[in-house]
Structure 1
C-alpha cells in the first residue's frame, strides 16, 4: 500500500467518488459532461469506464431537471452526486436546492432523508467573467438545511467528499476550479497533497490550524487558504507571526477553533473570495465578537471580493481579487503598522 503518493484535488475527488461507488451501489453521478469528458474540472475522470452509463449519467443542459431528479432519487433511497458545472448557474435551479433539497427533511418531520451531494466549481482568476467566476459560499451557507464544504487541498478534498456522500443530509461541495490541478490552469502546488489510498472521512465542522502564530489569526477557506499562507510567509520576514486557519467547512462552522486562536493572538483577519458584504467574513467576525469582544486588541478586518460584478478584463479582475498583499496589509492595520 502506497503511503507517499501525491494527488491533485481533481484526482482525489474522483478517487473518493469511485471508492464510495464500489462499496455502495446506491451512489451514482449525474451532470453535464461528467461521463466521457470526465467533468470539465476533472472531478469524474475515469468513472464512466469503470461504472458505465447507468451510474455515470451525462445529462441534458437542464440544471433544473437533473438537480430536481437528484433530490427525488435521494428521497427514494439513492445517494446521487450531481455536478452543477459552475456555481453561477445556481439561479436556474435554486428552487430545487433551497425549497426541496434543503427543506424536505424538515417538511417530512424527519421521515425522509435527502442524502445527495451537489458539487460545483467556484472561483475566479481565469478571465471567465461574472457568469462563471463567483464563489458564493455565503449564498448556500445562509440556507438552513444544507451542509457546505470547500476544501483547499487534495487530502481534505478526498476526506470531505467521502463524508459528503455518506451524509444523510444534502451537502454542497464547493471546489475551486483553480485548485483542481489541471494542466491548462495555473494552480498553487500546495493544493496537491499526500493522499492515502484507503478511504477515510474528515468530519464536518473541524477547522485545521495550518500555521501556528502569536500575533494575529488569519481565517480563510478554499483558494484563500493558499493566499493566506503566502501572506503569512511574507509577514514572517518582517517579524510578524501569523496563525492561519483553514475552515474547511462553512456549515457546520468551527467557531470554537477560531475563538481559541483569537484568544491567543488578540487580532483577527478573515479572508474569502466571496463578496464582502453579508458574507462568511462577517459571520466569522461576529462569532468572535459575540463570544467575547474583549479578546480583540484591535478591530478585526475582512479581505474579500468587492461588491461588484466580476469583470471579464483580466487586469480588472486581478485588481479586485483578494491576494496575499491585501491580506498582509490588513494584518498590518490590525497591528497599527503602515499598510
Structure 2
C-alpha cells in the first residue's frame, strides 16, 4: 500500500544553506483553509474570493475569517443573494485568466445555479476544444448534524462526482484541508471543495475529536486522487470521507475491544478517486464497509463497492454499506440522528460483514 501523504513533511522555503524548519501548530479546519487561501492570495494577485457573507462576516462557517482585513473588499467580495450571477461571474473571470474562489454557502443551493456549475464551469474547457481553461474553486458547506432541515443539511458528494468535468475534494482534517486547498487553487481545472460544517471548529458547532490537527506553517500540497489510510487493520476495510472518517475511527476503537481490527480509509477526493488503495486493502482484509453521509441510492457507497467488485470480486467475503436513507433530512433532532449514520451504525455494519462468509447485501 502506498505511503500516506500526511506522513511526509512539506518543504519549507529557506535562505542560503539553512536547514528547513517545519513549524507545526494545532489548527481547526477553518483556520487551515484560511491559511492556505491567504498564502495563495499573497503569491498570486489573480486569486480572489467571492460569496455571500464572506467579507465583513467572515463566512458563516469561518471559511474566510480574517481575510478581509488583509486583502480588502476588492479581493474578498460580498455578493448579492444571486448564486446564478456570481457563480457565472466566477466562471467568466476564470476563463479570462483569474483564479476565483466562489463560495456556495450551502451545497443544497446548487439547484439555483446548476447551469452555471455543470453546463459552464465543468464543460467550457471541453466545449471550447481546450481554448479556455476554468481554474476556479467552488467551495461549499455540506452535511447535517445541526438541525437545519432538508434544504441546508445534505452532502450531495455523489451529485458532483457523477458529473464529469469537475474535481471533487472532501477534507476531514485540518492538515488535509490546507494541503488540498493549496492544490485546488493551483489547479487549472475547476475544483469543487466540499467542507463539512461540523468539522470546521467554530464555537457554536463543536467538532468531534480528530479534525483539529498539527498543521505546518509552510505551504504544501496533497495530490488529488490519493486516499489516506487513517488506521491500519487486518480484518475489515472501512472506506469513508468527511465527518464519517471520525465516526469510523470511533467505531474502530470500539471494535478493537472486541478483537476486530478495522482499517479506515479516508478517500479525501472523489474525483479523481483512489480505487487502488481501496482494492489493495480489500485484498488484505476480505471484508468491505463503505460509509457515507450522502443518500444511499446511486451514490458513493455503490460506486466504491462496484469499483472493488470489478477488480477484486474474488477477494470479497462480505460487503455492507452505511448511508443516509432516501428521504429528506429531518429538522427534528431525534429524527435527524436516526437517518445520519453514527459510530454505532458503522460498528454494527462491521460486525455484520464479519459474520457474512460471502455475498453482498
TM-score normalised by L of structure 2: 0.92
| 1:127 maps to which of 127, 138, 147 | 147
Matches of 2:282 and 2:344, distance apart in 1? 22
SS at match of 1:291: helix
C-alpha distance in 2 between matches for 1:64 and 1:205: 29
CA–CA separation in structure 2 for the residues paired with 1:240 and 1:49: 50
Aligned pair 1:31/2:59, yes or no?
Answer: no
Q: Give the one of 201, 208, 228 matched to 2:248.
A: 228
Name the SS of the counterpart of 2:139 in structure 1. strand
2:324 aligned with 1:274, yes or no? no
Structure 2 partner of 1:301: 320
State the partner residue of 1:56: 76
CA distance in 2, matches of 1:187, 1:158: 17
Cα distance in 1 between the residues matched to 2:231 and 2:334: 31
Q: 2:181 aligns with which of 137, 153, 161?
A: 161
Count of paired positions: 336
User: How far has the Cα of 1:111 moved from its partner?
Assistant: 1.3
Counterparts of 1:74 and 1:295 in 2: how far apart (Å)? 45
2:15 alignment partner in structure 1: none
| 1:266 Cα offset (Å) | 0.2
Counterpart in 2 of 1:82?
102
The aligned runs of 1:167-178 (5 Å cut-off) are: 167-178=187-198
Query: Per-residue deviation at 1:95?
Result: 0.2
* Aligned pairs (5 A) from 1:248-287: 248-287=268-307
- Distance in 1 (alpha carbons) for counterparts of 2:211 and 2:312: 34
Select 1:143's aligned residue among 154, 163, 185.
163
| 2:346 aligns with one of 317, 327, 338 | 327
SS at 2:210 equivalent: helix
Q: What TM-score does the superposition give when structure 1 sets the normalisation length?
A: 0.98
Instruction: Tell me which residue corresponds to 2:11.
Output: none
**RMSD (Å), alpha carbons:** 0.8
Matching residue of 1:13: 33
Deviation, 1:122, is 0.2
Per-residue deviation at 1:182?
0.4
Q: How does 1:39-54 map to 2 (within 5 A)?
A: 39-54=59-74
* Secondary structure of the corresponding residue to residue 327 of structure 2: coil
Gaps of 5+ in 1: none
Cα deviation, residue 335, structure 1: 1.0
1:317 matched residue in structure 2: 336
Alpha-carbon distance, 1:188 to partner = 1.1
